[in-house]
Structure 1
Amino acid sequence: MGWPARAGLGVCLAFSISGSVRAQEAAGPPGSAEASADAPGVPVFSVPTVEVQASPETEPSDSAQQRDPSGALTVIQTADFGGAARDTAEVLSTAPGVAVQDSGGYGQSKSLVVRGASSNGTLVLLDGIPLNGAGGIADLSRVPLAVVERFEVLRGGAGARYGSGGLGGVVNVVTRRPGAEAQVAGEATYGSWNTVRGWVSATGPVLEGEALLLLHGGRSTGDFPFRFDASPALPGDALVERRRANNDAKGAGGLLRVRHGLGEAWELDAMAELSADDRGLAGTAQNPLPDARQGGGRVAASLRLSGERGPVRGSVRTWFRGDRIELSGGPLVTQGRQVLRLGGGEVEARTLLGERHGVSALLSVSAEDVTRAEGAPEGDSRPGWWRASAMVMDEISLAGERLSLAPSMRVERAGPYTLLSPKVGATVRLPEGFELRANVGQAHRAPSFQELYVRQGLLLPNPSLRPERVLSTDAAVVHRTERSLASVGGFYSLYEDLIAYELYPPFSAKPYNFASARAVGLEAEGEWRPFPWVAGAFSYTLLVSRNLRDDPRYYLKELPYRPRHKLSARASGGPRWLTGRVEVATQASQFINRTEEAVLPGRTFLHAGLSSTFGRFPELTVSLELKNLLDAQAEDLDGYPLPGRFAAVTVAASFGGPSRASSKGARTNTR
């Protein structure tokens, strides 16, 4: 089937299916756990939000709820993890459909797999600024949790609303917003292997506006012990204990965010983020690297003007991001410095047409370039290209607002590639608190600069790559009450021209397009609050992937690095002055090659903690956290040993303004 025919098929599919549920968040109704979270003596414990109504009028046009009102959306408030000594990847892994690919402990590389898409097929944004690097992969270890207010996790093909790269989904990292009241707050954590993390912030009114300044930093030696099999060919031999070397990491940075009202209908929001990090690249247990290092830095900035004029709500936004990665030590071929620059702007607007239609439109233009290119056209050592896209969406309300349809279409030009991404979704509201959600659409990812032109270490470029695409559909049923929430749904994704790295003799790897692959799965999550002082939450993902390449060695084999089962469950209870929590995170075994001959064992981690909060103004919280309580021995994707049992103490304080505890569980999406 030719490309025009396949594109036409995607359009027909996208506009032939209806039925969906609005995956939105809002504050709970009176008497619910959310509404009572501010009461003294009530522990705060929240699950990522899945299905709660919110008023569209209070939502900014670039929020995930507005951009994809029928999508499978989970919103995670980071305040719910206060004192739990988690990083960004660990928090995101609690969402259904999301699996983390990790390369060690604190400060080491971490990326996401969403609904079976590769890490480069999950688009990660910082307040709307793309964070995916030159290889198309966003390293979550470079996103400090201290700067994050919430995560918006949109699962499923998101090309219609977010453009190239959102094959498996989109994660929008929403940074902390300024407050109208003056407040100074901070948090410090000390744990095993000399791990130190902390942040301090100040917020309040400035020059008739509001401002937030936050500074953060952390380090860890990472020299944890592990058990090693020195003679894997001899069964039954004793394991020896070793200590990981060259596994340290450190980083620091800051966030400045300013909001200023322009009359009653307009607002100006400016954000600047700066960070730097350095870490050892320890290699694998079998082949350690004693001196390989990676240093990096990022500067990001955005300026957004939003408001209303007559019946139209909209925004104008510009943004810039620069990333630097420098490799030293280790093999000579891995050394070098690489800089990626991106910048762009967009205009987005929404208006009501009559009583049944809410029309949204977006125009976007951006440019990017990267250094150290190999194989670029005409020998250009710093290739770059422009991106331009146009999107339109219509929200149609039918049957007395019990049915909402949301068809959308995006046309994008990414360098030499023209991409078409249609999508349609719907919300069906049923009696007794039930809702249905369904979506079908098409998304694309243009090859990244690294895959096309950049040689990074042993990864070779391939200038002849074609864009990959996915046809995806999902459906779910949701039930909610004042004290509970349950959601069960399934999804199907068909990938074509999938980009994957293959061995390129003698020692390198090179990306190629493969015919097709599919991923089918089940997602379930729930929350239960039987009493104001007890809460529980869980999420479960079943993922079955198949390689449809014609080569008989791989046909119908599972895709590597896709665990079939993943479970996350949490519970908490107790008064404000002594709240206990426990969490279980389980991930099944997974294949690490396409012939299903090499297997990475599954793992189960048990975490527990205690927190005690005193006072209101000021407020002081002391927490004790035990991670991997049973000292389970696990490995990362390359057989790298993951940390064992970890203990940490956290002290947090706030002076002035509303307390952090009183803001936990608040599920509004206004900024």
Structure 2
Amino acid sequence: MQVLGAQGLILGERSPSCANGSDHTNVRWRATSSKRWSEIGVLLIGALLIGISDDARAQSLPSESGLEVTVRGDASGGYTTRATVDESPRAPLDAAAVLAGLPSVHVRRLGADGSFGTLSVRGAASSQVGVFLAGIPLTSAADPSLDIGSLPLWPGASFRVHRGFAPAALGTTGYLGGVLAIEPPSAAARERTTWWTAAGSFGALKLRVGETRRTGPVTVAAGLSAGRADNAFPFELADPITGAPRPLTRSNAGYRSVSGLARVSVDLGWGSVGALVFGDVRRQGLPGAAESPTTVSRLDLTRVAVGVDAIARTGAQSAARALVWVRREGSVFSDPLGELDPLRPGAHVEEAIEAAGAQLGWRGHPLDSLSVGVVVDGRAEKFSPGALAQIEAQRLAGGAGVDAVWRPHLPRLGSPLAVTATARVDTRRDEAEGNPSAELAPSGHVGAMLTLTPAAVLAVHAGALRRSPGFVELYGNRGTLRGDPTLRPERALSMDAGLQGEVGTGQVRLSYEAVGFATAARDLIAFVPLGRSTFRAENLDRGTLLGAELLVTLSARRLRTSISYTLLSARNTGDDPLTTGRPLPGRPAHDLAYDAAYRLGPVVLRYNLDAVAGTTVDEGGTVVLPPRVLHGVGAALDVPWLPGVQASIDVNNLFDLRVLHTGSALTTRAVALPLSDFLGFPLPGRAVWATLQWSHARSE
């Protein structure tokens, strides 16, 4: 919500501590823990050797504990990774835990489980990643970044991350880095009942219930989730004068949330008609930075989305689809003591986002070798601030797009080649207090995929991406942020190329994906200083993102193991001599995730590792977070004599890492920093979770 201010400043996301003038901004931290990377290599190699030498008589690992991640190189949508709650390699405590291990997906948290979190894909800022739920956009001009920490989960829910490029059929929400598509429980899934509950450290309790039933032509899939936590955890903060550690406790960081989702689908023979209803209520404490904690500041959120869709068959291999949706989000910000804003004690701000849209599309095969999809969509959006410090704004947007896939048939070779193209034209008109702003925005990409063998599939994509400015960038907030209605959209030229495949015999399978990508962005929107404590939005920056993604998954009789690694070089190439050539803040140069699960009879043992290094937190590149390595372990038991019941225990941050010691250019002694993604917002130490799950699938 805009009430929290624009923390996505120059080229994306500036650390809140830096935005507030942290006294660390002139310090360049040097990594002093390089030995940890050699430990990572030993652990990975050892786990792979275990999988290769697996006992031939071992039992297979069930899907509930599998490490399956579906990777699709569909050229019409670019490279895509899919993860599900049911098949998460780690305990699916929240959406961030399910997504964090995917290649080129980086989650930054402001605290413990349930706290505010941002999502970055291929180095793009969170405001440059589009998010959809069953085709309904959850990101908008008024709220361009989705809080991943507040996103609820349901049994059977799945996530599809389009890295870089996405199909035109997803709609008018602009993006530069990718799209997260959230799929609710499918009506096509087997009838089943699922119940999952967890209790964890820092007063955390979670509950998820899911149900899928069929009665004649009617299918109902529903999910309910609830959670709460106090998130009062200890941490240490160095005294600014002596450097001695001061033990503190994080306070006012708890949350309470309840959400529900239901989808009803009716098969009518000629097609189907369905409806989706989603609601979410959340109360979140706003703890503030570690140096200036709060006691009572909070944010209350409500979110409702309703969609109705119909699918009609228009031929043996074609169908038309229509979708109509509405969405409303409301927030109430309370700062009764002026702890976050001393100039406005007793602040009580209410805001609302109201949006509605429709989409009409068709997909079919005009020729045996040609698949075509066309779509026309539009939406209306209104931001109602309910406060004098904000500006009421409206947006009307619409667009049309086409996705095409051509698979020529080659003599004696079949159809190993797929040539694809995606194109969209979008238009928008914004208005706030008589200041109109309009735009016509073309975008699209082309691609090709060549299947040499199942073990070697080549794919390449290239195209142009755009993101329209949001309301706060166009019109400001009547406070410290001043907008510019003449802002140009953010634009980027991007390409990627990679190789993927699968090899193996029997129950031993090895799948892999290796991709390189490059993005050159221009007209990036930045809030630049304009006098004292005032910022103005301008088009002035350029940036270049170069990187590589690697995903390797090994499946044996008892073992499932996967490695995801992202190498990223994100540079500011703008005109400012103080920042040009510097790393873009918030993007780690190295991001590695490793997971393994090993079955011994009814017991499944789990291990995971996360390693992050090379993250700067200011646009000048003067503050670099020390590298960190976090370990996690877990064990799950299929309870004897109770079919479908599984009990498990998981430990995150096994070695209770809470403080990182690093050298400083201004002092000869090591400086202690709290473990964090943002300076000033510490992450918790060791956390223990106990879960109990029951799932019953009915025979068809």
Instruction: Provide the TM-score with structure 1 as the length reference.
Output: 0.85
Shift of 1:144: 0.9
Q: Tell me which amino acid in the other structure corresponds to 1:177.
A: S
Superposed, 1:479-490 pairs within 5 Å as 479-482=501-504, 483-490=509-516
Is the CA contact (8 Å cut-off) linking 1:293 and 1:328 kept in structure 2?
yes
Q: Secondary structure at the match of 2:258?
A: strand
| 2:161 counterpart residue number | 153
% identical aligned pairs: 27
| 2:632 counterpart residue number | 607
Shift of 1:552: 1.1
Of residues 455, 458, 469, the one that matches 2:491 is 469
Shift of 1:593: 1.4
Counterpart Cα distance in 2 of 1:516 and 1:175: 37
| 2:686 counterpart residue number | 645
| 1:546 counterpart residue number | 571
Of residues 126, 129, 133, the one that matches 1:126 is 133
Superposed, 1:513-662 pairs within 5 Å as 513-529=539-555, 531-575=556-600, 577-614=602-639, 618-633=643-658, 634-657=675-698
Counterpart Cα distance in 1 of 2:118 and 2:100: 10
Shift of 1:375: 11
Is the CA contact (8 Å cut-off) linking 1:40 and 1:576 kept in structure 2?
no
Shift of 1:554: 1.2
| 1:191 counterpart residue number | 200
Q: Tell me which amino acid in the other structure corresponds to 1:383.
A: A
Shift of 1:101: 2.1
| 1:421 counterpart residue number | 443
| 1:97 counterpart residue number | 104
Q: Secondary structure at the match of 2:676?
A: coil
Counterpart Cα distance in 2 of 1:488 and 1:88: 25
Superposed, 1:296-315 pairs within 5 Å as 296-310=301-315, 311-315=317-321
Q: Does 1:138 align with 2:159?
A: no
Superposed, 1:361-510 pairs within 5 Å as 361-372=374-385, 381-398=391-408, 399=410, 400-415=414-429, 416-431=438-453, 433-453=455-475, 455=477, 459-482=481-504, 483-510=509-536
| Mean CA deviation greater in 458-467 or 425-434 | 458-467
Superposed, 1:159-238 pairs within 5 Å as 160-162=168-170, 163-178=172-187, 183-206=192-215, 208-231=217-240, 233-234=241-242, 237-238=243-244
Counterpart Cα distance in 2 of 1:461 and 1:159: 31
Counterpart Cα distance in 2 of 1:510 and 1:151: 36
- The change in CA–CA distance for 1:124 and 1:41 in structure 2 (over 3 A counts) is closer
Is the CA contact (8 Å cut-off) linking 1:159 and 1:167 kept in structure 2?
no
Q: Secondary structure at the match of 2:65?
A: coil
Shift of 1:158: 3.5
Structure 1, unmatched stretches of 5+, are: 1-32, 53-64, 660-671
Q: Does 1:336 align with 2:349?
A: yes
Is the CA contact (8 Å cut-off) linking 2:226 and 2:259 kept in structure 1?
yes
Is the CA contact (8 Å cut-off) linking 2:59 and 2:599 kept in structure 1?
no
Of residues 67, 70, 84, the one that matches 1:46 is 67
- The change in CA–CA distance for 1:42 and 1:152 in structure 2 (over 3 A counts) is closer
| Mean CA deviation greater in 469-478 or 425-434 | 425-434
Is the CA contact (8 Å cut-off) linking 1:620 and 1:654 kept in structure 2?
yes
Q: Secondary structure at the match of 2:98?
A: helix
Shift of 1:184: 3.2
Q: Tell me which amino acid in the other structure corresponds to 2:627.
A: G
| 1:245 counterpart residue number | 251
Q: Does 1:272 align with 2:277?
A: yes
Structure 2, unmatched stretches of 5+, are: 1-53, 430-437, 659-674
Counterpart Cα distance in 1 of 2:690 and 2:525: 43
Q: CA offsets, 1:218-271, max 9 Å, x none?
A: 10001000011122x44xx321211001111111111111111011x4122211
Counterpart Cα distance in 2 of 1:501 and 1:73: 32
RMSD of the alignment, in Å? 2.7
Shift of 1:632: 1.5
Counterpart Cα distance in 2 of 1:658 and 1:211: 16
Is the CA contact (8 Å cut-off) linking 1:70 and 1:438 kept in structure 2?
no
- The change in CA–CA distance for 1:394 and 1:200 in structure 2 (over 3 A counts) is closer
Is the CA contact (8 Å cut-off) linking 1:193 and 1:221 kept in structure 2?
yes
Counterpart Cα distance in 2 of 1:490 and 1:513: 28
- The change in CA–CA distance for 1:563 and 1:381 in structure 2 (over 3 A counts) is closer
Q: Tell me which amino acid in the other structure corresponds to 2:685.
A: G
- The change in CA–CA distance for 1:472 and 1:82 in structure 2 (over 3 A counts) is closer
Q: CA offsets, 1:590-649, max 9 Å, x none?
A: 111111112233322111100011369841110101001011221132421101100010
Is the CA contact (8 Å cut-off) linking 1:158 and 1:166 kept in structure 2?
no
| 2:22 counterpart residue number | none
Counterpart Cα distance in 2 of 1:542 and 1:427: 23
- The change in CA–CA distance for 1:130 and 1:615 in structure 2 (over 3 A counts) is farther
Counterpart Cα distance in 1 of 2:479 and 2:332: 11
| Mean CA deviation greater in 627-636 or 449-458 | 449-458
Is the CA contact (8 Å cut-off) linking 2:185 and 2:222 kept in structure 1?
no
Q: CA offsets, 1:488-532, max 9 Å, x none?
A: 110000111112333454335443222311100001101111x22
Q: CA offsets, 1:99-143, max 9 Å, x none?
A: 112111122111111112111000011111111152311111221
Counterpart Cα distance in 2 of 1:124 and 1:355: 33
Counterpart Cα distance in 1 of 2:428 and 2:624: 37
Instruction: Provide the TM-score with structure 2 as the length reference.
Output: 0.81
Counterpart Cα distance in 2 of 1:489 and 1:46: 20
Q: Tell me which amino acid in the other structure corresponds to 1:141.
A: G
Q: CA offsets, 1:457-504, max 9 Å, x none?
A: 855544332210111000001121241111111000011111233345
| 2:27 counterpart residue number | none
| 1:347 counterpart residue number | 360
Q: Secondary structure at the match of 1:141?
A: helix
- The change in CA–CA distance for 1:184 and 1:431 in structure 2 (over 3 A counts) is closer
Q: CA offsets, 1:534-591, max 9 Å, x none?
A: 1110111011011111121111111111111100110010145100010011111311
Counterpart Cα distance in 1 of 2:154 and 2:236: 33
Q: Tell me which amino acid in the other structure corresponds to 1:50.
A: V
Q: Secondary structure at the match of 1:430?
A: strand
Of residues 372, 386, 394, the one that matches 1:359 is 372
Shift of 1:312: 2.3
Shift of 1:313: 1.9
| Mean CA deviation greater in 307-316 or 487-496 | 307-316
